[in-house]
A and B are shown apart, each in its own frame.
Chain A
Amino acid sequence: KQEVTQIPAALSVPEGENLVLNCSFTDSAIYNLQWFRQDPGKGLTSLLLIQSSQREQTSGRLNASLDKSSGRSTLYIAASQPGDSATYLCAVNQGNTPLVFGKGTRLSVIA
């Protein structure tokens, strides 16, 4: 059974700092991995999707890497801003299957 773990559970950083969020999964036979952002009381916004054959994806200040063999992914946020404050969720699936989510990392960026 696939399990996804995210570390840390919460993180508070000053504005402008670069930061890394970690995600690990127990079954390396994944099809893709997604990083989502969730604002309080809102739904999920997809940030980056990495196919299993890829090593990383970039979008603006965000960079996600995937090491499928070791079951790890990281989300790197450069030059953090207060608007980045949210919960970040990592999820994996195996094709046309449901996503299995971690519990998320709650990020606070302090101005």
Chain B
Amino acid sequence: EAGVAQSPRYKIIEKRQSVAFWCNPISGHATLYWYQQILGQGPKLLIQFQNNGVVDDSQLPKDRFSAERLKGVDSTLKIQPAKLEDSAVYLCASSLAGGTQYFGPGTRLLVL
């Protein structure tokens, strides 16, 4: 069984530029999460999808972050414009309802 796929693995941009990350969850997993992990911290939720609907986006900085999961499978997370403090690892995870969350390798973002 293929795991959660994410791309790109690394991205370096300058502040005020835009960037997009992609996630392909495990086949059949209806629930998809995006987490942000700042160096030295545990991951924190940005947004949770159930199929193509948003369940929880209370911690998403909506003035600059957006995410979508149009067909209930793949998801994209966008930052526009990026700030220095957005430098972090962005982790995507998927699960069956209430089950173990499986994480992708993450995208490491550096904003200069």
Contacts and interface: CB of A to CB of B under 8 A. Distances in A.
Contact of B45 (A96, A98, A104): A98
Given A46-B102, A95-B98, A99-B101, A41 B108 contact: yes
The secondary-structure label for the interface of chain B is strand
B104 A103 contact: no
B6 to A, nearest CB: 8
Contacts, number: 56
Top-6 shortest CB links A-B? A101-B42, A98-B45, A44-B103, A43-B105, A96-B98, A43-B106
Contacts of B41: 103
Interface string B73-112: 0000000000000000001010101101111111010000
B95 to A, nearest CB: 8
